[in-house]
């Protein structure tokens, strides 16, 4: 009888592609928070490349994208992922940059259009730094979490920036 039950379970997995992963609903190296899975990537790429890297990852229930942030708690969690994982590095062509791309962007670059999330929703929660979004040079259409320096761990603010700037990023996906 046990052999029959085991055979049926193996057959179900083979036929339906079921994955029994109740203890670890997130893909490997991802962190579960409030029903979603998150991962910080330290690779420094443009906003568009970061989005592409996120979309290369899947769970059984969906495709990852740059993180959308809808609550103060989610913002603090994403910031803590960035803060605890990020190495603060200097860029050869400019000052030290303390940022990580998130999924807010303007659909028309260089405009004054509202920002939206990569999941298509509007910004129902915002954590802009004072004076932001500024659209400096009429060329800041993408958003990143920002730290003033390595000791700045309480601000958790957002800044609009040039989408072509290289920065690490945070992805989000629904769990298995």
- Going by pLDDT thresholds of 50, 70 and 90, the confidence category of residue 174 is very high
Q: What total number of domains does the chain contain?
A: 1
Residue 13 maps to a domain: no
Q: Are 129 and 155 in contact (CB under 8 A)?
A: yes
pLDDT per position as a tens digit, 42-57: 999 999 999 999 999 9
Token reading at 32? 């579960």
Residue 15 maps to a domain: no
- Going by pLDDT thresholds of 50, 70 and 90, the confidence category of residue 112 is confident
Question: Which stretches of the chain are DSSP H helices?
Answer: 2-16, 47-55, 72-85
Residue 143 maps to a domain: yes
Q: What is the pTM of this model?
A: 0.80
pLDDT per position as a tens digit, 49-79: 999 999 999 888 889 999 999 999 999 999 9
Token reading at 63? 């495709």
Q: Which domain holds residue 34?
A: 30-173
CATH number of the domain bearing residue 111: 3.10.100.10
Query: Residue 16 phi/psi, 5° resolution?
Result: -100, -5
Sole residue written with tokens 């932001």: 132
Residue 50 maps to a domain: yes
Q: Report the distance separating Cα 96 and Cα 94, nearest Å.
A: 7
More confident residue, 161 or 10: 161
Q: Report the distance separating Cα 144 and Cα 169, nearest Å.
A: 8
Predicted pLDDT at 166: 94
pLDDT per position as a tens digit, 7-33: 444 333 333 333 434 566 898 899 999
């Amino acid at each position: 009888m046990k052999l029959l039950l085991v055979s049926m379970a193996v057959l179900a997995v083979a036929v339906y592609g079921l994955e029994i992963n109740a203890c670890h609903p997130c893909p490997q190296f991802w962190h579960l928070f409030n029903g979603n899975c998150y991962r910080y990537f330290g690779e420094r790429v443009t906003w568009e490349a970061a989005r592409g890297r996120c979309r290369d990852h899947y769970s059984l229930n969906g495709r990852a994208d740059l993180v959308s942030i809808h609550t103060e708690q989610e913002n603090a969690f994403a910031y803590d992922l960035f803060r605890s994982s990020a190495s603060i590095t200097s860029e050869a062509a400019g000052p030290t940059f303390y940022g990580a791309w998130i999924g807010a962007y303007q659909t028309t670059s260089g405009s004054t259009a509202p920002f939206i999330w990569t999941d298509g929703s509007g910004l129902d929660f915002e954590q802009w730094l004072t004076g932001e979004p500024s659209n400096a040079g009429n060329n800041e259409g993408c958003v990143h979490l920002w730290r003033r320096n390595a000791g700045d761990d309480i601000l958790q603010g957002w800044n609009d920036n040039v989408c072509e700037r290289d920065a690490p990023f945070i992805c989000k996906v629904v769990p298995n």
